[in-house]
Structure 1
Amino acid sequence: MDRVMPGVRRRSAVSMSGILLVLAVATGVLAWFLIAAPVITFAAAKNHAAHFGFVYAHMIGGTLMLFLGAANLYVGASRRFFRWHRQIGYLYLGGGTLAASSAIYLALAPVHAETPGFAIDLLAVSDVSWSLAMLGSAWLAAAALAFRAARNKRFDQHRQWMIRSYVLTWSFVLCRLLATQPAMASLGDGSAAVWLSWIVPIFLCEIALQWKAGARVAPRA
């Protein structure tokens, strides 16, 4: 039997959280085959010969954060399989930290330069690289705040920061997909597409999370 938090009624599996889980997994599988499959099969190795180890680590971490993030949000919302919530959360944070950290390093190091290198020179970093590094930093910040809130038993804030971190997880996917679209070339070197891929989703997410906070307060009797 699954353990449920005391005083919390377990919801049906056929619920909005269950539907969202199915949609997240289905779209995640599609995105994984488009982005991660060439890496896990080594088909993309020749395009990243000097730094393929970092790309592979980024793929492993991204896979964990993409699917475990969806699973843990479902567990937290539905209270089903809640005894696994902490373990899944640790794996999600670990995989995401690996993916975000490797993304930041790959963005800042001149690994794609004519003369590849691994030493970071911040004065030589391009605009698109800064935008990618900021996306990775935003995910790390959201994950750290979610972890801190859970440690301090502020579960309302923990839930919100986990939602923000998962929105940023999908921003990694979105910016990769946008980069393959010819129309994005009209936005310049690609930095605008990266900024838009996470600024717009996190902005909309914040509106959704804070909507009830600004609702009309019912008058006291």
Structure 2
Amino acid sequence: MLSAKRNTAIFFKVLLILGFVYFFWLMFSITLEYIPINPNVSFLMIKQTEVEQRPEYLYFFYTHVYTSILVLLSGFLAIIRKDFGLKNLHRNMGKVYIFLILLLAAPSGIYMGFFANGGLFSKISFVILGFSWWFSTFKAYQLARQKKFKEHKQWMWRSFAFTLSAITLRMWKVIIVYLFQPNPMDVYQIIAWLGWIPNILLIEYLITKKQI
């Protein structure tokens, strides 16, 4: 019985890693679209008003894009708590993750949230997401400094749930467009909330059940 449970746990862990690798590659491919810097490609094509009227917008945009892919990778390496034979890998990746979010990724994301597609409804969601991302990460950092590692781990999972919204938002977009083919702006309003709320609810459930 114990062997079966252990094998099941290993199976799901491997599945999780493979799933992350796949979606990380997709996100990395999206990031590559913005190298070299060009304000007339991909997502920026529908943000020309901001690009032309707000010189700072591109700085925040590229800061968010370039740091978020590193946040995704460092967060995953920190959250699985494995060093893979490299001394202090978990700890160092955690430091990179926290530093990038608190100083770069979350602040730039909050700024961009004020100009999100989909109107006020979407903007409110992305701004809340940005602040929640920053706060949960800061809380994880604070608890680590206080050596309250159980609580630190829980807040890191909360933070990573918000981090994963970059992936889940796009997953929901594909599903909704395929099933319902709604107006593009309606899609933004839906995925703005659907991209992160189920993530954090799942983590809260797992914490409540003492699975994290």
- Per-residue displacement from partner, 1:12-49 (whole Å, max 9, x unpaired)? xx94656533432232112321x322223435545354
C-alpha contact (below 8 Å) 1:39/1:45 kept by paired residues: no
Matches within 5 A, 1:173-184: 173-176=167-170, 178-179=172-173, 182=177, 183=181
Q: Does 1:24 align with 2:20?
A: yes
Q: Does 1:135 align with 2:135?
A: no
Q: How high is the TM-score relative to the length of structure 2?
A: 0.73
Q: 1:156 aligns with which of 139, 145, 150?
A: 150
Displacement after TM superposition at 1:172 (Å): 2.6
* Structure 1 match to 2:105: 99
CA 1:153/1:111 → structure 2, altered by over 3 Å: closer, same or farther? closer
C-alpha contact (below 8 Å) 1:66/1:170 kept by paired residues: yes
Q: How high is the TM-score relative to the length of structure 1?
A: 0.70
Displacement after TM superposition at 1:200 (Å): 1.1
C-alpha contact (below 8 Å) 2:116/2:123 kept by paired residues: no
The alignment partner of 1:56 has SS state of helix
- Per-residue displacement from partner, 1:48-82 (whole Å, max 9, x unpaired)? 544322211101110111111111112x2578545
Unmatched tracts of structure 1, length 5 or more: 1-13, 113-124, 214-221
What is the total number of aligned residue pairs between the two structures? 185
Displacement after TM superposition at 1:174 (Å): 2.6
Q: Does 1:68 align with 2:74?
A: yes
Higher helix share: 2
Q: Which amino acid aligns with 1:31?
A: M
Q: Which has the higher contact order (CA 8 A, sep 6+)?
A: 1
- Structure-2 separation of matches of 1:187 and 1:54: 23
* Structure 2 match to 1:146: 140
C-alpha contact (below 8 Å) 1:61/1:94 kept by paired residues: no
- Structure-1 separation of matches of 2:166 and 2:208: 24
- Structure-2 separation of matches of 1:102 and 1:200: 23
C-alpha contact (below 8 Å) 1:68/1:88 kept by paired residues: yes
Matches within 5 A, 1:178-197: 178-179=172-173, 182=177, 183=181, 185=183, 188=186, 190-197=188-195
Displacement after TM superposition at 1:158 (Å): 0.8
* Structure 2 match to 1:4: none
* Structure 2 match to 1:86: 91
CA 1:184/1:202 → structure 2, altered by over 3 Å: closer, same or farther? farther
- Structure-2 separation of matches of 1:52 and 1:177: 25
Q: Which amino acid aligns with 2:153?
A: R
* Structure 2 match to 1:56: 62
Q: Based on CA coordinates, which of the two structures has the bigger radius of gyration?
A: 1
Aligned-residue sequence identity (percent) comes to: 25
C-alpha contact (below 8 Å) 2:172/2:194 kept by paired residues: no
C-alpha contact (below 8 Å) 2:113/2:123 kept by paired residues: yes
Q: Which amino acid aligns with 2:167?
A: V
- Structure-1 separation of matches of 2:148 and 2:86: 21
